[in-house]
């Protein structure tokens, strides 16, 4: 697996996708080596278990009594879905805010990455903005405005700030929607730093609630060095905690691969940290 993979269309992985399956490695974010970030800004110092305890939201339901949820992509024309969901989101319905983000994000992805655009006429220099959007998006996306595209992340952040785990995972796994494309990221490194810091905090909150996907994403973050400085001890520890909560032969293969990068003393530290993370997030 490459250290940084291109972000995939949310329209694909959202359909029938459960909360526990969103890898951080799908992002395309400048590596910390290109734009240094202090360890304490992304939680790279101290005890990771203690970080999860501090990140846990008051009253959060721990794993074991938290039901598995499936978030399906809202169907229908984007303008109709937005008209139905936006008033609910503005009134504080955080799941509606998440669905609203998903629908508009599907269209944004089609706008810049859609593979079916060849069948539609390219916009000309004299076309209005609306005409250009129509030319570059499928019919179900027609009618969305530039403002709706530009302000869409606010709905994701609303849901993530409220503790909706899927929103927290989605924020951490979709840097392009939050920060922009690679050129925009390179032109605005401070925004990238703020994004990485916030994404890591969301992942810790999700992990503290018992999300196995968040544990895997945190492991990926420290393994690939995308959201945080590379730390093979922490990469092993977070995946060790995930495997304690949900053992599998595949998980053991991951751990064996990660262990090859560690000295015996480092491995012992990683196992100890992993047990602490498990106790903080997932122990019944």
Q: What is the pLDDT of residues 166-218, one digit of tens each?
A: 999 999 999 999 998 888 899 999 999 999 999 999 999 999 999 999 999 99
pLDDT above 90 coverage of the chain, percent: 55
Look at the chain and count its residues.
284
CB 72 within 8 A of CB 15: yes
31 pLDDT band, cuts 50/70/90, is: very low
Among the ranges given (105-109, 158-162, 239-243, 265-269), the one the predictor scored with the smallest mean pLDDT? 105-109
What's the rounded mean pLDDT across residues 55-82? Answer: 69
Higher pLDDT, 142 or 74: 142
73 pLDDT band, cuts 50/70/90, is: low
Mean pLDDT of the chain: 79
Give residue 126's pLDDT. Answer: 56
18 pLDDT band, cuts 50/70/90, is: very low
Give residue 74's pLDDT. Answer: 72
Give residue 178's pLDDT. Answer: 93
What b/e readout covers 177-214, taking b as 16+ CB neighbours within 10 angstroms? Answer: bbbbeeeebeeeeeebbebbbbbbbbbbbbbbbbbbbb
pLDDT tens profile 120-176: 455 555 556 667 777 778 888 888 888 898 899 999 999 999 999 999 999 999 999
Residue 40 pLDDT more than 70?
no
What's the rounded mean pLDDT across residues 99-104? Answer: 94
CB 56 within 8 A of CB 163: no
Residue 227 pLDDT more than 70?
yes
């Amino acid at each position: 697996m490459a250290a940084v993979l291109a972000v995939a269309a949310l329209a694909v992985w959202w359909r029938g996708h459960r909360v526990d399956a969103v890898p951080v490695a799908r992002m395309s974010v400048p590596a910390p080596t290109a734009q240094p970030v202090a360890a304490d800004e992304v939680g790279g110092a101290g005890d990771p278990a203690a970080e999860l305890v501090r990140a846990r939201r008051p009253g959060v339901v721990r794993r074991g009594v938290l039901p598995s949820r499936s978030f399906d992509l809202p169907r229908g024309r984007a303008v109709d879905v937005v008209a139905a969901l936006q008033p609910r989101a503005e009134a504080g319905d955080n799941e509606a805010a998440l669905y609203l983000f998903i629908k508009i994000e599907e269209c944004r992805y089609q706008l810049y990455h859609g593979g079916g655009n060849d069948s539609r006429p390219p916009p000309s220099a004299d076309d209005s903005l609306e005409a250009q959007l129509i030319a570059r998006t499928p019919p179900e996306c027609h009618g969305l405005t530039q403002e709706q595209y530009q302000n869409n992340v606010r709905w994701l952040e609303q849901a993530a700030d409220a503790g909706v785990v899927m929103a927290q995972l989605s924020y951490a796994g979709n840097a392009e929607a939050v920060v922009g494309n690679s050129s925009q990221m390179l032109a605005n490194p401070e925004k990238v730093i703020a994004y990485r810091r916030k994404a890591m905090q969301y992942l810790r909150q999700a992990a503290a609630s018992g999300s196995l996907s968040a544990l895997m994403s945190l492991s990926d973050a420290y393994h690939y060095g995308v959201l945080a400085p590379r730390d093979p001890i922490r990469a092993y520890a977070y995946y060790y905690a995930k495997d304690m909560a949900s053992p599998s032969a595949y998980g053991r293969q991951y751990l064996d691969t990660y262990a090859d990068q560690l000295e015996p003393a480092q491995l012992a530290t990683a196992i100890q940290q992993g047990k602490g993370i498990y106790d903080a997030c997932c122990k019944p």
